[in-house]
Homo-oligomer: A and B are copies of this chain.
Amino acid sequence: MPTNRRFLLIRRPHGTPVPEDFQLETSETPALEEGQFLLRNHYVSLDPAMRGWMDDRPSYLPPISLGDPVRASTIGRIAESRNPDFPVGAWASGLNGIEEYSLGQGGGFTRLVDETAVPKITNYLSSIGAIGLTAYFALLEVGQPKAGETVLVSGAAGAVGSLVGQIAKLKGCRTIGIAGGAEKCARLISDYGYDAAIDYRGKSGDDLAQAIREAAPNGVDVHFENVGGEILDAALLALNPRGRVVLCGLISQYNTAPKPTYNVWQLIVQGARMEGFILTHYVHRFGEAVPQLAEWVRAGKLRMDEHIDEGIENALPAFLRLFEGTNQGKMILKIAE
């Protein structure tokens, strides 16, 4: 049996996770029971939501138990199998952990994937994985954008944000992206087709509100929030009547105490709506979104940059890039050739 290196959560982080919160353990892979298989993980998806799962707080998924590997989406090949639906050599993805091998039995998020349907196998962790599905359902179902409307996106150069901008353009919307730094803002326009970009760095809340007003002279119909804090407050001020705020993420406060939002009164003034998004509520509809996303990817209509770091021993610094903003595109950890 192969040995298995696993990146375990051994202490709940206070604020930004530190090395002492984790342990890279080497163990033996278990013997398979009937119906089980062993997945050799090649790529691990690193996502901001994983920070929330490290806390001891009831949520849409249970907290990661101390001593368990850090929960993450992975893609890999079946290495051993006692399940005829998951034959050795096939590619499969699932919600597993940061570990070289995951024990699987099908069901839940686990599914075989067709490596011929996409340009790169990592697309299943990015544009047509949880990230793509999040952008798709959160924008289209919660945001309900209509052609001609203005869609504002924070964290617009991030994995979800870059897709949201492109899908909104495919639906005929005008798109404005908010990101940190001139380089990211340039990328919003050149790579992701945003009509306008706003650099939040160095801007007060008032500056930001003013910049949004200038970029969206007709107001904002859909605001897609990945960040929170002052950015959310500024966006609320720009909302049009019956506007929709998609709360997809609040990365500005995942490692801190919750930040205040002052402008919820705008929801009353505009008769507007702010709604949280959880991908698990849409599992029954993945089947309609995956082919559409794959078609857009193959047609070159949906660009997603991937930032791939290597080595399970680099799991923590790679994960922390998400909060430092030093990744350029979807953050992925490669742990096998």
- A residues near B (Cβ < 8 Å) are 52, 57-60, 228, 232, 241-242, 247-250, 253, 258-278, 281
Contacts and interface: CB of A to CB of B under 8 A. Distances in A.
Contact of A260 (B57, B261, B273, B275): B261
- Integer count of this chain's copies in the complex: 2
A60 B273 contact: no
Contact of A268 (B248, B265, B269): B248
A250 to B, nearest CB: 5
A285 to B, nearest CB: 14
Nearest to A232: B264
Given A248-B268, A259-B262, 17 more contacts: A57-B269, A58-B269, A228-B264, A228-B265, A247-B264, A250-B268, A260-B261, A260-B262, A261-B261, A266-B276, A267-B276, A269-B276, A271-B275, A273-B275, A273-B276, A274-B274, A274-B275
Contact of A258 (B242, B263, B276): B263
A266 to B, nearest CB: 8
A271 B283 CA distance: 14
A270 B276 contact: yes
B276 A272 contact: yes
Contacts of A253: 265
Nearest to A243: B276
Contact of A249 (B59, B248, B258, B268): B268
A178 B198 CA distance: 42
Nearest to A279: B271
Nearest to A58: B269
The 4 closest A-B pairs by CB, nearest first: A260-B260, A267-B276, A268-B276, A271-B278
A182 to B, nearest CB: 30
A131 to B, nearest CB: 16
A253 B262 CA distance: 11
A20 to B, nearest CB: 26
Contacts of A275: 267, 271-275
